[in-house]
C-alpha cells in the first residue's frame, strides 16, 4: 500500500521513510516539506493523540500487583493469628478469661461490619488500588495502637506480675495461720493490676476495631480487581494463588508468635529463669512492630498502581456534566436489592458464614487447646498450629485451583465438592474428639475447696494455684493442700517439698523420683527414710503437674492436617461461585455482602461463643484470697466435646446450605469469557503481565 506522501514524491520513497510513515495521514504542509526534503522530523512529532500510548511502568503488571497485594494480605493474616498466639500471654499478664480475649478478636469483625457495604460500594466504582493503600494505612494505625499498652504500662504491669510470682517456694502448710498478711499484699497487687487492665482492654478493643476497618479494603477489593484484569480462563488459578498464599499469613503469624514468646517481654533484660517458668512473659508486642512497619511500606507501593491494568481497546467516553451531578449513593439501595434477591448468592452467603465459623473458632483457641490437651509449651503449640494446620490449608487451596484450571468443572460439580468437604470436616472433628492424652490425676480438685482432711489445719484458702506432683502420682493444687511443711530449691523453677501429710510415702510415682535422680537428691533429704510398711508416713512432692509427654499429639496432627487439606480444597470453587453468580459491576459489592454477613453472623459471635465453650470446660480458676484470675485447669473431656463438637455441628449446617447451592448451581456459567469464543479458535493471551 502506498501512502499519499509516497505519491507526492514521484511514487518512490525510501524504505526508512515508508516504515516511519506507515499508517500516518500527512497534512498538506507536511506533504510539501517532504517533497522538498525539508521535514525536520516534524511528522514524527505529530502523531495523533489517540494513537499515542503512555509508557507502561512496572506497576502496569498483574504480577507486580499480585506481589504487593498478596504481601499485604499475608501481613493482615499474620497479625490476626499472631494476636491469637499471644492470647495465652495476655490472659496470664492481665488476668482475664478466654471470653474476654474472644471479644477482642471479635472486634475486628465489628470493624468490618461497619464499613464493608459502604466501602465496597464506593471503592468498587473508584480507584481500587488507592483505596486498598489507604486501608493498609488504617490497618497499620490499628496494629501500632496495640503496642501502646506495653509502652505506657509495660514496666508497672511486669512489676505486679513478678511480685505475684515472686522467686521462692509456693505457700506451704501454715499451722499458725499467718495468711492474713499475704492476703493483704495480694489484694494490693491485684488492685494495681485491675486498674491497668480496666484501661488496656477497652483500648485494645478500639484498636482491633480499627484493624477490622483496615482489613476490609484488602479483603474485598483485591480479589475483584485481580479478576477484572485477568481472563476468565485463568481466573481459577489466580484465585487459588490469591487465597492459597493468603493462608501463609496465618501460618507465619503463629510462627512469629512462637519466636516472640521465646523472647522476654523486655528484650534488654535477661531474666534468671527460662520460658517454661510461670514468671516468664514473652514479648507479645514485638511482632506487631514488624508487621506494622512492612504494611506501611506496601501501602506506599500500592498507590502507584493504575485504575485498571488490562487496558480497554477504546478510550473511555468523556463524562457528561449531568453525570457528575448525580448523587453519590444513587443506586446503592438498588445494588443491595439485586444482591438480596439473588437466591444463589444468599445461600452461598449462608454457607460461607457456616464454613468460616468453625474454622475461625478452632484457630482462635487452637494453641490453648494443644497446651491443655497435649501438655505442649506455648511456642510448640504455636508451631503446630501454623505448620500442622494452616500451611496444609494453603497447599489444599493451591492444589484445588490447579485442578479447576485443568479440569474446568461445571458449577454443579464445584458446588458438590464444596458440600463434600464440609461433610468430611464435620466427620473429622468427631474423630478428633477421641484423640487425647490421659486425664491428669488430681487430688480433690474442686472449685472453692482447697483443703483435704489431712490438711485442714494448714489454712490453704488463700493459697494461689501452684501445682505439685506427689510421689503418689497425684497432682495437688499447691504444696499447702498436700500438707507439706518444708521446701528445698533445686533450680530456678523447680522445688522439692517434704513432710507432706497428705502424700503416702509408700508409693513411688515416676515423675517425683525421676526428679530426685535428675538433681542427685538423696531420698533421706526428701523425707524418704526407713519406716514401718504398715504405717502411712508423710511423703514428698515436686513442683509441676504429674502429667508427662503424650504421643497422641502425632495422631492428632495427622488427622487434623488431612481434614484441613480437604476442607481448604473447596475454597477456590466457593469464591468462584460467588463472583460468577453476580453481574460484573457487582463483584466487589457481592464480596462486601459476604464479608458483612460473615462478620455479623459469623466472626463476631464466633470467638465469643467458642471462648465461652472453652471457659465452660474450666474446672478450677486461679484464686488467691478470693480474687479470681485466669483458668488454671480444664476438664479434658469437656474441653474436647465442647470445643470440637461445636465446630463439627456448625460445619454440618454448612453442608446443608451447600446442598441448596448445588441444587441451583446449574444457572451459573463458570467461564463467561469462553462462551463468546469459537471452540476452534486459537485462544489469545487472557492477560498482559
- Grid coordinates given for 687: 492477560
Least confident range from 166-170, 234-238, 252-256, 635-639: namely 166-170
- Grid coordinates given for 554: 502425632
> Does the CA dihedral 597-602-603-608 come out positive or negative?
positive
Confidence class of residue 42 from pLDDT cuts 50, 70 and 90? very low
Confidence class of residue 330 from pLDDT cuts 50, 70 and 90? low
Top mean pLDDT of 146-160, 360-374, 661-675 is at 360-374
Q: Which residues pair with 634 in a beta bridge?
A: 618
User: How many residues are recorded in the chain?
Assistant: 689
Q: What is the pLDDT of residues 520-547, one digit of tens each?
A: 887 665 655 544 444 557 889 998 888 7
Q: Is the pLDDT of residue 636 over 80?
A: yes
CA angle (351, 352, 353) in 5-degree steps:
90
Domains of the chain: 4-48 (no CATH), 62-166+181-310+351-438+550-620+636-671 (1.20.1250.20), 453-543 (no CATH)
User: Cell 522439692, residue?
Assistant: 496
Cβ atoms 476, 468 nearer than 8 A:
yes
Confidence class of residue 207 from pLDDT cuts 50, 70 and 90? very high
Classified as helix, coil or strand, 652 is helix
Q: pTM for this structure?
A: 0.66
Q: What is the overall mean pLDDT for the chain?
A: 75
Top mean pLDDT of 262-266, 296-300, 611-615 is at 296-300
Confidence class of residue 199 from pLDDT cuts 50, 70 and 90? confident
Higher pLDDT, 224 or 627: 224
Q: What is the pLDDT of residue 451?
A: 52
Give CA–CA dist 332/339, Å, rounded.
11
Q: What is the pLDDT of residues 156-169, one digit of tens each?
A: 777 666 665 554 56
Top mean pLDDT of 51-65, 183-197, 232-246, 356-370 is at 356-370
- The pLDDT of 168-183, averaged and rounded, is 61
Classified as helix, coil or strand, 38 is coil
Q: Is the pLDDT of residue 647 over 90?
A: yes
> What stretch of H or E contains 470?
strand 468-470
Q: Is the pLDDT of residue 432 over 90?
A: yes
Q: What is the pLDDT of residue 320?
A: 46
Give all strands of the β-sheet with 486-489 in edge-to-edge order. Answer: 475-476, 468-470, 538-543, 495-504, 486-489
Q: What is the pLDDT of residue 189?
A: 56
Separation of CA 173 from chain center: 45
Question: Per residue, what are the HEC states of 365-406?
Answer: CHHHHHHHHHCCCHHHHHHHHHHHHHHHHHHHHHHHHHHHHH
Q: What is the pLDDT of residue 177?
A: 56
Top mean pLDDT of 300-309, 529-538, 587-596, 615-624 is at 300-309
Q: Is the pLDDT of residue 15 over 80?
A: no
- Grid coordinates given for 117: 457495604
Cβ atoms 388, 260 nearer than 8 A:
no
Q: What is the pLDDT of residues 342-399, one digit of tens each?
A: 788 888 888 888 998 898 888 888 888 988 888 887 778 878 887 777 778 878 888 8
In angstroms, what is the C-alpha Rg of the chain?
33
Least confident range from 6-20, 256-270, 632-646: namely 6-20
Confidence class of residue 632 from pLDDT cuts 50, 70 and 90? confident
Cβ atoms 468, 479 nearer than 8 A:
yes
Q: Is the pLDDT of residue 64 over 80?
A: yes
- The pLDDT of 407-421, averaged and rounded, is 90
Amino acid at each position: 500500500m502506498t501512502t499519499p506522501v509516497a505519491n507526492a514524491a514521484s511514487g518512490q520513497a525510501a524504505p526508512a521513510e515508508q516504515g516511519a510513515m506507515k499508517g500516518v495521514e500527512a497534512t498538506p504542509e507536511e506533504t510539501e516539506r517532504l517533497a522538498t526534503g525539508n521535514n525536520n522530523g516534524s511528522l514524527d512529532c505529530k502523531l495523533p493523540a489517540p494513537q499515542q500510548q503512555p509508557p507502561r511502568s512496572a506497576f502496569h503488571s498483574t504480577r507486580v500487583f499480585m506481589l504487593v497485594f498478596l504481601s499485604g494480605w499475608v501481613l493482615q493474616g499474620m497479625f490476626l493469628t499472631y494476636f491469637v498466639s499471644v492470647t495465652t500471654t495476655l490472659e496470664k499478664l492481665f488476668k482475664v478469661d478466654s471470653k474476654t480475649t474472644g471479644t477482642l478478636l471479635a472486634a475486628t469483625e465489628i470493624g468490618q461490619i461497619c464499613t464493608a457495604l459502604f466501602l465496597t460500594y464506593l471503592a468498587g466504582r473508584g480507584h481500587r488500588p488507592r483505596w486498598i493503600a489507604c486501608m493498609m494505612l488504617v490497618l497499620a494505625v490499628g496494629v501500632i495502637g496495640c503496642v501502646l499498652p506495653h509502652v505506657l504500662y509495660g514496666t508497672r504491669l511486669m512489676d505486679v506480675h513478678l511480685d505475684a510470682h515472686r522467686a521462692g517456694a509456693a505457700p506451704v502448710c501454715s499451722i499458725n495461720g499467718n495468711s492474713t498478711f499475704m492476703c493483704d499484699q495480694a489484694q494490693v497487687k491485684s488492685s494495681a493490676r485491675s486498674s491497668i487492665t480496666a484501661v488496656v482492654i477497652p483500648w485494645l478493643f478500639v484498636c482491633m476495631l480499627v484493624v477490622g476497618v483496615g482489613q476490609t479494603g484488602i479483603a474485598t477489593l483485591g480479589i475483584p480487581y485481580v479478576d477484572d484484569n485477568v481472563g476468565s480462563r485463568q481466573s481459577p488459578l489466580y484465585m487459588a494463588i490469591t487465597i492459597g498464599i493468603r493462608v501463609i499469613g496465618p501460618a507465619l503469624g503463629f510462627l512469629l508468635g512462637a519466636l516472640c514468646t521465646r523472647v522476654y517481654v523486655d528484650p534488654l533484660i535477661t531474666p534468671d529463669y527460662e520460658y517454661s517458668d510461670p514468671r516468664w512473659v514473652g514479648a507479645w508486642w514485638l511482632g506487631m512492630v514488624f508487621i506494622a512497619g512492612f504494611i506501611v511500606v506496601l501501602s506506599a507501593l500500592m498507590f502507584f498502581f493504575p485504575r485498571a491494568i488490562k487496558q480497554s481497546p477504546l478510550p473511555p467516553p468523556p463524562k457528561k456534566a449531568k453525570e457528575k451531578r448525580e448523587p453519590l449513593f444513587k443506586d446503592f439501595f438498588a445494588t443491595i436489592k439485586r444482591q438480596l434477591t439473588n437466591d444463589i448468592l444468599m445461600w452461598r452467603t449462608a454457607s460461607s458464614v457456616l464454613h468460616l465459623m468453625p474454622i475461625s473458632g478452632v484457630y482462635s483457641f487452637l494453641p490453648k487447646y494443644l497446651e491443655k490437651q497435649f501438655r505442649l509449651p506455648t511456642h510448640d503449640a504455636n508451631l503446630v498450629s501454623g505448620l500442622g494446620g494452616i500451611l496444609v490449608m494453603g497447599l489444599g487451596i493451591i492444589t484445588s485451583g490447579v485442578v479447576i484450571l485443568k479440569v474446568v468443572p461445571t458449577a454443579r460439580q464445584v458446588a458438590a465438592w464444596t458440600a463434600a468437604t464440609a461433610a468430611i470436616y464435620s466427620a473429622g472433628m468427631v474423630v478428633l474428639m477421641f484423640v487425647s492424652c490421659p486425664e491428669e490425676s488430681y487430688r480433690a480438685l474442686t472449685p472453692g475447696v482447697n483443703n483435704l482432711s489431712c490438711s485442714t489445719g494448714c489454712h490453704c484458702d488463700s493459697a494461689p494455684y501452684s501445682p505439685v506432683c506427689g510421689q503418689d502420682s497425684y497432682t495437688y493444687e499447691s504444696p499447702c493442700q498436700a500438707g507439706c511443711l518444708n521446701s528445698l530449691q533445686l533450680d530456678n523453677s523447680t522445688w522439692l517439698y517434704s513432710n507432706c501429710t497428705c502424700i503416702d510415702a509408700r508409693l513411688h510415682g515416676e515423675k517425683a523420683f525421676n526428679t530426685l535422680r535428675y538433681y542427685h537428691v538423696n531420698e533421706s533429704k526428701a523425707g524418704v527414710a526407713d519406716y514401718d510398711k504398715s504405717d502411712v508416713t508423710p511423703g514428698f512432692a515436686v513442683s509441676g503437674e504429674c502429667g508427662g509427654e503424650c504421643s497422641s499429639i502425632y495422631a492428632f496432627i495427622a488427622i487434623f492436617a488431612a481434614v484441613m487439606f480437604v476442607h481448604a480444597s473447596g475454597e477456590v470453587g466457593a469464591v468462584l461461585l460467588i463472583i460468577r453468580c453476580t453481574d460484573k459491576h457487582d463483584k466487589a459489592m457481592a464480596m462486601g455482602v459476604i464479608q458483612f454477613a460473615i462478620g455479623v453472623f459469623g466472626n463476631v459471635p464466633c470467638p465469643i461463643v467458642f471462648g465461652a465453650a472453652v471457659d465452660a470446660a474450666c474446672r478450677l480458676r486461679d484464686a488467691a484470697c478470693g480474687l479470681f484470675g485466669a483458668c488454671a485447669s480444664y476438664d479434658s473431656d469437656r474441653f474436647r466435646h465442647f470445643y470440637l463438637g461445636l465446630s463439627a455441628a456448625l460445619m454440618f449446617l454448612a453442608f446443608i446450605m451447600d446442598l441448596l447451592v448445588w441444587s441451583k448451581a446449574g444457572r451459573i456459567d463458570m467461564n463467561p469469557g469462553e462462551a463468546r469464543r469459537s471452540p476452534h479458535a486459537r485462544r489469545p493471551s487472557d492477560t498482559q503481565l
